[in-house]
Amino acid sequence: MRAVGLSGGVGPWRLVEPPGPTDPDLPILELAEAGDIKGALKGFRADAGVTYVKLLALPDPAMTEEFFDGILRKTPAGSPRRTSGSSAWTLRDTLRSYDGYARDNVAWGGDWDIDPDHLEVPTWLWFGDLDRMVPPSHGRWFADIPNSTLVPRTGKGPRKHSRPMLSLEKATRPEQVEAFFQRFPGRSVVVMPKLDGLSLALVYENGQLARAITRGDGTTGDDVTPLVRALADGLPTRVDAPGRVEVRGEAVMLRSTFVAYNANHPDKPLINPRNAAAGTLRAKDPASVAERRLQFLAFDLHTDPDGTDSDLDRALQALGFTAAEMQHCDDATAAQAVITTIEQQRNDLDYDLDGAVLRLADRGAFAAAGTRSNSPRGALAYKFAGRRRPP
Annotated catalytic sites, by residue? 194
Amino acid making up residue 234:
G
- Amino acid letter, residue 207: G
Q: Alpha-carbon dihedral of residues 267, 272, 278, 284, nearest 10 degrees?
A: -10
Question: C-alpha distances in angstroms, 157 versus 154, 163, 209, 223, 292?
Answer: 9, 16, 17, 5, 22
- The answer to whether residues 201 and 164 touch, using CB atoms and an 8 Å cutoff, is no
Half-sphere exposure of 384 (CA within 13 A, CB side): 24
In the DSSP assignment, the letter for residue 82 is: -
Please check whether residue 389 is in contact with residue 352, taking contact to mean a CB–CB distance below 8 angstroms: yes
Say if CB 97 and CB 154 are below 8 A apart.
no
E strands, the chain, in order: 2-3, 15-16, 83-84, 100-103, 106-109, 125-126, 159-160, 170-171, 189-195, 198-205, 208-214, 220-221, 232-233, 244-252, 294-304, 327-329, 353-360, 379-383
Residue 95: exposure state from Cβ atoms within 10 A (0-12, 13-18, ≥19): buried
- 103-128 core/surface letters (b: 16 or more CB in 10 A; e: else): eeebebbbebebebeebbbbbbbbbb
| Dist. CA 4–CA 60, nearest whole Å | 14
